[in-house]
Amino acid sequence: MSLAVAYSRARDGLRAPLVSIETHLTNGLPAFNLVGLAEAAVKESRERVRSAILNSGFEFPGRRITVNLAPADLPKEGTRFDLAIALGILAASGQIPAARLQDVECVAELALSGELRPVRAVLPAALATRAAVRELVVAAEDAGEASLVDDLVAYGAPTLTAACGHLIGTAPLLRLQPLRGERAIDNPDAPDLADVFGQYRAKRALEVAAAGGHHLLLVGPPGTGKTMLAMRLPGLLPPLTDEEAFESAAVRSLAVQGFDVAAWHHRPFRAPHHTSSAAAIIGGGAIPRPGEVSLAHHGVLFLDELPEFDRRVLEVLREPLETRHVTVSRAARQAEFPAGFQLVCAMNPCPCGYDGDSSGRCRCHGDAIKRYRERISGPLLDRIDLQIEVPRQADWSHQHQHARGESSADVRRRVAAARAVQIARQGYVNQRLSTRELQRVATLDEPGWRLLEAAVQRFGLSARGYHRILKLARTLADLEARSAIVTDDLAEALSLRCLERSASR
């Protein structure tokens, strides 16, 4: 047999298209031609494959070798195809059974020594391999990621020799045990809400944000607990469903090598620094990689010191906030990644941080304060349903003596109940209600309308602002398991939009 076909998987956004690797041996001057990869990648791959074969005690055929990777127009990074290329050569030269390669897909890099090395994006490949009803062979270090996929026959091999022993049948590898059922739903390392003293209004806002999936902005002087509060939002959200966990793990597997399998069921929390580039936030690269907005998919994206972020960064957030997706284009390539995150932002009220503080120590000019706040564009603010002040607490030392407040688990129970109501009613959380849907699910009685009318007059609410109040009121009623929105809900909703009011004052 001088022809063999092996299979591997490329990565293309979250997809993992099949790559067929055909190996042909013919008589003639010894040569090793690799077709279908970028030139630089070809050279390196040839080196690794040749050395690995020789160092594993196999024979490197002294004939004319042609390896063709198809289709030709896939984004193909060289390294993940190494194992399949080596096995193809060994099969074409009769050193392992070629027929066996028909039911196997291989995604692993080779070291010169013949050891298998881990690669990115094993999870999307594993899902695709299962759909194709083949077995998957990966590096031992990638075994955890592959074993997230139920009903997949997968093996983690330490070396090329081990992979060959398995395919020949002389030394079968142990099938990886699926990890499902063993995962920890609760994250024991997650910070707890009980650690935050006082700040009852802010905690209430956090609960409402969790219950309705609303974006949240916290405004206050330094050291009042804004960052503490934001970090506790993931712990108030229900655990990821299996489907959500897969999606967010798949995104992570594109960005990081060997992600933490034990944590795969935890809600993501991403807190990029304000010096991050637009590409880091939104995604980018020659082979497009997901950015922070996608790594936060199904979780929380926290932007601390919001006005310090580059304005362009804040502008590019608008697309994912609207569509829950991002499109990353670079040269001829485009990739779409999911980006359904919940946004939490924190900022000081003015450049020095103490505007409005009872200490009266702020000396910032009115103009400076205005410019500072204007760094955050109206359209972005418009999408943040909840905007609240987190003031300095006067009786701070006193708070310490108080019993610990409610734990995250307590609040999470109420949040879960309120979310269940929303899912049953409209299929998703209130944050995503369209204006039309809102009219259907958030009807008001006569006193309710009167109160809202008065607020529109008093605060000069925009149409957008008006809808946001209704949306928040819907969530507040859902937290009480009430189908009707009452005036108390509206009044509290109005109090949860402080910036809108101070801006129009």
Ligand X SMILES: Nc1ncnc2c1ncn2[C@@H]1O[C@H](COP(=O)(O)OP(=O)(O)OP(=O)(O)O)[C@@H](O)[C@H]1O
The two tokens of residue 136 are: 């998957």
Q: Select the binding partner of residue 362 from Mg ion, Zn ion, ligand X, none (C-beta < 5 to 8 A, by kind).
A: Zn ion
Q: Which is nearer to ligand X, 183 or 201 (CB)?
A: 201
From residue 164 to residue 203, the character string flagging contacts with ligand X as x (rule: CB under 6 A) and all else as - is --------------------------------xxxx----
List 8, 224, 253, 294, residue binding ligand X (CB under 6 A): 224
Strand partners, 66: 24, 33
Decide: is 308 part of the binding site for ligand X (CB under 6 A). Answer: no
Task: Write phi, then psi, for 405 (nearest 5 degrees).
Answer: -75, -170
Distance, CA of 255 to CA of 276 (rounded, Å): 16
Omega before residue 118 within 30° of 0, cis: no
| Neighbour count for residue 428 (Cβ, 10 Å) | 13
Q: Select the binding partner of residue 352 from Mg ion, Zn ion, ligand X, none (C-beta < 5 to 8 A, by kind).
A: Zn ion
Distance, CA of 74 to CA of 221 (rounded, Å): 51
Q: Catalogue the E-assigned strands of 238-290.
A: 269-270, 283-284, 289-290
Q: Select the binding partner of residue 196 from Zn ion, ligand X, Mg ion, none (C-beta < 5 to 8 A, by kind).
A: ligand X
Report in angstroms how near the CB of residue 251 gets to Zn ion at its nearest: 39
Decide: is 228 part of the binding site for ligand X (CB under 6 A). Answer: yes
List 55, 68, 95, 227, residue binding ligand X (CB under 6 A): 227
Q: Which stretch binds Zn ion (CB under 5 A): 77-85, 99-107, 224-232, 343-351?
A: 343-351
Angle at 320 between CA 388 and CA 415, to 5 degrees: 50
Decide: is 222 part of the binding site for ligand X (CB under 6 A). Answer: yes
219: part of which helix (H) or strand (E)? strand 216-219
Q: Which is nearer to ligand X, 359 or 457 (CB)?
A: 359
Residue of minimal CB distance from ligand X? 225
Q: Select the binding partner of residue 198 from ligand X, Mg ion, Zn ion, none (C-beta < 5 to 8 A, by kind).
A: ligand X
Task: List CB contacts of 206: < 8 A, sequence separation 6 or more.
Answer: 193, 216, 229, 232, 233, 236, 411
Helix orientation angle between 487-495 and 463-479, rounded to the nearest 10 degrees: 120
Decide: is 368 part of the binding site for Zn ion (CB under 5 A). Answer: no
From residue 216 to residue 235, the character string flagging contacts with Mg ion as x (rule: CB under 5 A) and all else as - is -----------x--------
Q: Which is nearer to ligand X, 58 or 269 (CB)?
A: 269
Task: Write phi, then psi, for 18 (nearest 5 degrees).
Answer: -70, 140
Looking up tokens 């890099």 gives 109
Q: Catalogue the E-assigned strands of 62-161.
A: 64-70, 104-107, 109-110, 116-117, 135-139, 154-157
Residues in the chain: 505
Q: Which stretch binds Zn ion (CB under 5 A): 53-61, 356-364, 379-387, 428-436?
A: 356-364
The two tokens of residue 112 are: 């010169």
Looking up tokens 């009430």 gives 482
Q: Which stretch binds Zn ion (CB under 5 A): 102-110, 206-214, 315-323, 358-366?
A: 358-366
Q: Select the binding partner of residue 224 from Mg ion, ligand X, Zn ion, none (C-beta < 5 to 8 A, by kind).
A: ligand X
Report in angstroms how near the CB of residue 353 gets to ligand X at its nearest: 6
Query: Which positions touch ligand X (CB under 6 A)?
Result: 196-199, 220, 222-228, 346, 348
Query: Which positions touch Zn ion (CB under 5 A)?
Result: 350, 352, 355, 362, 364
